[in-house]
Amino acid sequence: MNNILVASNRGPVSYTCSEQGELTVRRGSGGLVSGLSDTSGDDLLWVCAAMSEADRQAARGARKGRLDPAGHGRLRMLDLPPATFDRAYNGVANSTLWFVHHLLYDTPVSPRFDAAFRREWAAYRDYNEAFASALAEEAAPEARVLVQDYHLTLVPAMLRSARPDLRVAHFSHTPWAPPEYFSLLPDDVAAQVLGGILGAEHAGFLTARWARAFTDCCANLLGAQTDGRGVTLGGRTTRLGVHSLGVDGEALWRRAHEPDVETCLAALREQVGDRRLIVRIDRAELSKNIVRGLAAYREFLAAHPEWHGRVVHLVFAYPSRHDLPGYRAYTAAVRQAAEEIRHEYGTADWDPLVLDLADDYPRSLAAYRLADVLVVNPVRDGMNLVAKEGPVLSRRCALVLSREAGAAAELGADALVVNPYDVLETARALRMALEMPEDERLRRGARLATAATSLPPRRWLAAQLTALT
Ligand code: G6P
């Protein structure tokens, strides 16, 4: 039996299947994976969803005892019917809850809570049930269970009724919507999401702002009592926690100085020459605001011909959630905006913008090291670790940062903070960042790096566990 359990939609590994039918395992990255790498042990189990056909094959093989699914540590991948997974993950989690928390709806046309949505919602309940019953089956008496994110909001309440002995925490890695936006959801759905999380003993958020939005929703929509430290409903109190997440500076630094990154760095130096480099690194994801970021670069070039030929914007926009048409269309819009800039300003010997759509981690680490300016302008973001990784890898890189990213709460004093909708303000910030004197870059950079590394994932995880002790 397991004393510590973690539940998240995406697990620490994923599988691919070769043409010969051979399964290969790949370790993922991200805060949760690195936080848990110190905590692995016999009494920890990670429960996640099989997200692809290869994952499902691996999960089935594991059940028959033919495969160690994790390759390290202990893992249980849930092999759900593909239609259930698709409706829960793509339909509810990524097209509804993600949109609500990031304020992404185009309200004259969406959302539309119709019969198709109700089928998705039923699947989301089934998917949450599958997690809750796997956790209930695997957990030792009084075990601690860490439930992650908007995919699994119903699990805490489900677990509480199946296994009241367990100590359950829920953590939201996203922003939380203000009540007037959250209440776009049908009343019963909104109530189930809030009530699901309130099944936990502890509800964690990345910033005080997101925690406050959650308590406002509980007060306005459910009539719960709130006092800043907890939410009380029906005589039970769920404690609130604000646990920011930073980066493991040493591990990141080591990884960014390995030979594959050095090779990419040399290639990038060759490509950029002695020009200044503005970098952005994102998943091609609607909340990341890439198109407005490119519009700001275009405005900057229009207003400052003296910079023509002297600057390159390197844009990483990795594919994400491409099962959803809206995400494919967004990637196409990014590509088009980039093409327009190249067409308008490029010359025979100057390419003002380089767009990288492939997920090339070593090349993105090299870009951090070479950057003069890092742009992070999401319309809304739970935290944003790109804003924290950049300063660790270059002390002389100026940071242009959206005030709507959770990271702004910690980095705002030394970043150039912008309203992500204000393209001209962002364009001005790009210029200030490029022209920032060297001593100021270094001073701000050192403080940014300190703030970025003060709460590495291992401390974030320890705080989650302590909150349940
Ligand atoms: C980002 C968010 C997380 C979320 C993850 C899911 O990293 O900050 O809150 O869980 O995306 O991404 P995925 O690719 O698994 O849909």
Q: Are 241 and 379 in contact (CB under 8 A)?
A: no
* CA gap 218, 221 in Å, rounded: 6
- Ligand 1 centroid, distance to 442 Cα (angstroms): 32
- Homologous superfamily in CATH for domain 249-452: Glycogen Phosphorylase B; (3.40.50.2000)
Q: Are 406 and 207 in contact (CB under 8 A)?
A: yes
Q: Which atom of ligand 1 is nearest to the CA of 148?
A: 10
Strand ranges, E, within 166-321: 167-171, 202-205, 225-226, 230-233, 236-242, 276-283, 311-318
Residue 228, pLDDT score: 86
Q: Which atom of ligand 1 is nearest to the CA of 320?
A: 14
* CA gap 257, 226 in Å, rounded: 48
Pocket test for ligand 1, best of 85, 99, 173, 323 (most atoms within 8 A of CB): 173
Domains in the chain: boundaries: 2-245+458-467, 249-452
Hey, what CATH class is 2-245+458-467 in?
alpha beta
Backbone angles phi, psi at 279, to 5 degrees: -120, 145
Nearest CA to ligand 1 atom 10: 149
Q: Is the CB of 8 under 6 A from ligand 1?
A: no
- Ligand 1 centroid, distance to 215 Cα (angstroms): 23
At 447 the three-state DSSP class reads helix
| Bond before 259 cis per omega within 30 degrees | no
Greatest C-alpha distance within the chain: 71
Task: Report how far apart the first and last C-alpha atoms of the chain are (Å, whole number).
Answer: 19
- Ligand 1 centroid, distance to 152 Cα (angstroms): 12
- The tens place of each residue's pLDDT in the chain, 469 residues long, gives 799 999 999 999 999 999 888 999 988 877 777 777 666 566 789 999 999 999 999 999 887 766 655 544 589 999 999 999 999 999 999 999 999 999 999 999 999 999 999 999 999 999 999 999 999 999 999 999 999 999 999 999 999 999 999 999 999 999 999 999 999 999 999 999 999 999 999 999 999 999 999 999 999 999 999 998 999 999 999 999 999 999 999 999 999 999 999 999 999 999 999 999 999 999 999 999 999 999 999 999 999 999 999 999 999 999 999 999 999 999 999 999 999 999 999 999 999 999 999 989 999 999 999 999 999 999 999 999 999 999 999 999 999 999 999 999 999 999 999 999 999 999 999 999 999 999 999 999 999 999 999 999 999 999 999 999 8
| Domains 2-245+458-467 and 249-452 belong to one CATH topology | yes
Enumerate residues 6+ apart whose C-beta is below 8 A from 295.
Answer: 337, 423
Q: What's the CA angle centered on 435, arms 432 and 440, to 5 degrees? A: 90
Q: Is the CB of 395 under 6 A from ligand 1?
A: no
Residue 72, pLDDT score: 47
Strand ranges, E, within 367-415: 373-376, 398-402
What pTM does this model have?
A: 0.96
Q: Which atom of ligand 1 is nearest to the CA of 94?
A: 16
- Ligand 1 centroid, distance to 227 Cα (angstroms): 30
- Ligand 1 centroid, distance to 372 Cα (angstroms): 28
* CA gap 468, 197 in Å, rounded: 15
Q: What region does 254 belong to: left with phi over 0, alpha with psi -120 to 50, or beta? A: alpha
Which is nearest to 276 in space by CA: 422, 414, 360, 375?
A: 375
